[in-house]
Amino acid sequence: MPSGPVNLERSTRLPAVFFGHGSPQNALGGNRYTDAWRDFGAQYRPRAILMISAHWYAAGTRVTASARPRTNHDFVSFKGPVSSFEYPAPGDVALARRVRELLAPIPVALDERWGYDHGAWNVLANAYPDADVPVVELSLDRTRPPQFHYDLAARLAPLRDEGVLIVGSGNVIHNIEIMRTDWGAEPAGWEQRFNDDLRARLECGDHAGLIAYERLGRDAQLAIPTPDHYLPFLSVLGLQRSDERPDVFVDGDRTGGLGMLSVAMR
């Protein structure tokens, strides 16, 4: 693990990282997950960030292409400071065009309307609190299967050598119904089993098994009732290179039904 900020003139490859983002309230920090995100951010100074967030789950592949993306408050159930939270990082239109170039011939729409959703800003507010690193968001295409997202991300790998930190933001376990029912409970047996199984597959490089999560049985069905929060994890898997190990730098669950595992490929 790098011990301090990476000097891009010396080492040009940045990690690919997945953050288990949890609630929008995490933007305000103050827990062991947000502390870990902050410590991660302190180690790297990218020229830009490409964010793949669970909360931009669109019918097609889109990329933000405005100079000043707005902060989206894309939730209704959280009041207080996060409902007016602002993350004023600039956009990077040139990076958006570079993403489109790398993904061709897959059609990629340049989107001037979408801003930073809470999957993006609640982790970046901790990892890069000064909001001075340009950010571009890439949507998930809800009409495409898991393998598509893994393969698509792999095509973005050159960006890691161009000073771009590629970030996936979601949750490997995300069952809102159970979270609401059993708020604050210890993780259930199925959740612990699924998390252990996922980590074992991650450690031994079983990407095929993780992509085909729908065939992993009932525990997986409970952990991933819809693909949106899991797909950014597959994107980061797709970016792992053969000389890299998955570094799980924080893991756990505060609420039941919400796995907070974060992992960096480095």
Partner 1 sequence: MTAWRAAVERGLEELERCFDDALDAALPNPVALIFSDLPLAYQGKRDLVFAMDLLNEGENECALIAGLVRDRLRDEPGSDVAHMTREAWYYLRTSIDPTWQFDAGEPSLPAALAYLAIVLRERPPAGERAALLGRLRSDAGTLTTRL
Among 22, 227, 232, 259, binds partner 1 (CB under 8 A): 227
187 binds partner 1 (CB under 8 A): no
**Which residue stretch of 25-33, 65-73, 80-88, 137-145 sits at the interface with partner 1 (rule: CB under 8 A)?**
137-145
**Which residue stretch of 15-23, 42-50, 65-73, 219-227 sits at the interface with partner 1 (rule: CB under 8 A)?**
219-227
Residue closer to partner 1, measured from CB, 159 or 223: 223
178 binds partner 1 (CB under 8 A): yes
**Which residue stretch of 8-16, 43-51, 92-100, 141-149 sits at the interface with partner 1 (rule: CB under 8 A)?**
141-149
Element housing 259 (H / E): strand 258-259
| Size of site (CB under 8 A) for partner 1 | 16
Distances (CA, A) of 154 to 99, 179, 232, 238: 12, 32, 12, 5
Question: Which residue type sits at 182?
Answer: D
153 binds partner 1 (CB under 8 A): no
How far, in Å, CA of 260 to CA of 112, rounded?
31
Residue closer to partner 1, measured from CB, 205 or 225: 225
Q: Which contacts qualify for 206-213: CB closer than 8 Å, 24 or more apart? A: 207/150, 207/237, 207/238, 207/240, 210/234, 210/237, 211/146, 211/147, 211/150, 211/237, 212/146, 213/146
Using CA of residue 127, residue 119, residue 54, residue 109, what is the dihedral sign?
Answer: negative
220 binds partner 1 (CB under 8 A): no
**Which residue stretch of 20-28, 84-92, 111-119, 138-146 sits at the interface with partner 1 (rule: CB under 8 A)?**
138-146
Which DSSP symbol is given to 128? S
Helix (H, G, I), strand (E, B) or coil at 46: coil
Residue closer to partner 1, measured from CB, 149 or 266: 149
Among 2, 145, 158, 217, binds partner 1 (CB under 8 A): 145
221 binds partner 1 (CB under 8 A): yes
How far, in Å, CA of 210 to CA of 228, rounded?
15
How far, in Å, CA of 176 to CA of 169, rounded?
16
* End-to-end Cα separation, the chain, in angstroms: 8
Residue with tokens 């408050």: 73
Helix (H, G, I), strand (E, B) or coil at 227: coil
Residue closer to partner 1, measured from CB, 166 or 211: 211
Helix (H, G, I), strand (E, B) or coil at 197: helix
Binding string, 36-75, against partner 1, x = CB under 8 A?
-----------------------x----------------
152 binds partner 1 (CB under 8 A): no
**Which residue stretch of 36-44, 84-92, 173-181, 244-252 sits at the interface with partner 1 (rule: CB under 8 A)?**
173-181
Residue closer to partner 1, measured from CB, 180 or 241: 180
Helix (H, G, I), strand (E, B) or coil at 231: helix
Interface with partner 1 by CB under 8 A: which residues? 59, 142-143, 145-146, 175, 177-178, 180-181, 214, 221-222, 225-227
